[in-house]
Structure 1
Amino acid sequence: MATATMMKKLSLATAGAALMALGATVKAANAASIVNGGFETGNFSGWTVVNQAFSSGNFFNTAGGSAPLSGIPISGASEGTRYAVTDQGGGGSHVLFQDIFLEAGSQYQLSFDWFAQTSIPLFNPETMNAFGVVNQQFRVDIVSAGFSDWFDNSSSAGVLANILAPTVSPDRWTSTTFDLSAWAGQTVRLAFREVDNQNFFQAGVDNVKISSTPNQAVPEPASTLGLLALGAMGVGSTLKRKEQKNAG
């Protein structure tokens, strides 16, 4: 009897561990995320910054208050205490990007906060080259994985989707969402792009996130977990009957 009781406890413990493991696996399988989307690390870990050759300025990790190079007043973070912002002392073109793998079997929603402030009108010559043409704009794109020709060709080169058209939104945070589900099962590159050669331009980015929802065609995790739970209960019932028989 002691042996049977011990076997039942072990079987139930094993089934419980299996349930926990499967739950963790299902959660991981449906998760795509942005690394350091709030820039709270104080740096750009998880991101890549690219500046056009001979550009002035950069993307900076900031707490806000004043722009890092020009000293122009800028907002605080939209959430947390840090965010990414462009600033410069002359003309330049700048990119902040991150590659995202979107697992198959889920719907994905991208969201981020942004502002783009400049004291002059927007100029959009269909290129992100800072030299040779009047250019002052901020845009957000989904481009193909591995794309790197940011500055020389048309601004639409390599673009799978334009999330935010060339724009400005002076002095205030704005929230934008975009459906990434069309690229489930692929790796895409999320790119924040700013170019300026007319005057100072601060483009801010914060609170970059991805939420996911499993497709209905995918078996519900609860159903699978429920089957395992029933199996564990069945094992326990069988062992209990054996104990009663042996006791009789």
Structure 2
Amino acid sequence: MVITGATVVALGTGTSARAALLTSPTDSELLGSKVIDFETAPLGSFSSLTLGDVTFSTTSGRLAYISDWYSGEWNAQGKSLQSSYEDNVTFTALKIDFANPVTAFGFNWGAADEFWSLTAFDSAGNVLDSQYLPTHQGGNDDQFFGIKNATAPISYATLVQKSYPQAEVDYVLLDNFKYSSLPQPIPSKPVPEATSTLGVLAIGAFGAGSLLKRKQELKI
């Protein structure tokens, strides 16, 4: 049975009344966001890859890949993060760590034939939201998914193939990963100490007094 994207989205299991599935790269929650397009990443396999302040990692010794296969297809442009068809080799779970907590994130999603769940966590490991991602039956239709409106800053997320190992490993692609970091506080400038200010005033008063005394001496 083919499950449509709309059906799978309806199965989303958000754990918060506010958290929601993000479905557009132009969502207001992503205004001013950073973008990872994977173009600077080296081609080949990896178990952990850090780009900017985001780290993508696999579990159980499995691998993910940076490849330009299917560029222009399956919602990928140029290089993208991919899995493969190799069972016991390619990832069925991907962890996404944010060096700085984020308020929302999302990515182009392509080629999925199986159920995948996207889950966001806070710094203590509490689940903020969990959503099923729809399958992708073909084409290059700009499917984009993520999580927004979490009740707390998002420290990391997981992407897991829920049908594995009952089903075969699923070939999927991620591209144009966008995320909105929390505003970082602006360091405040140190305030001059009161003693220093008084010292400056004292020096100024002394200088003015000396100048007045010299003028009086010249008049005598």
So what's the TM-score if we normalise by structure 1? 0.45
Structure (1 or 2) with the greater helix fraction: 1
* Structure whose alpha-carbon radius of gyration is higher: 2
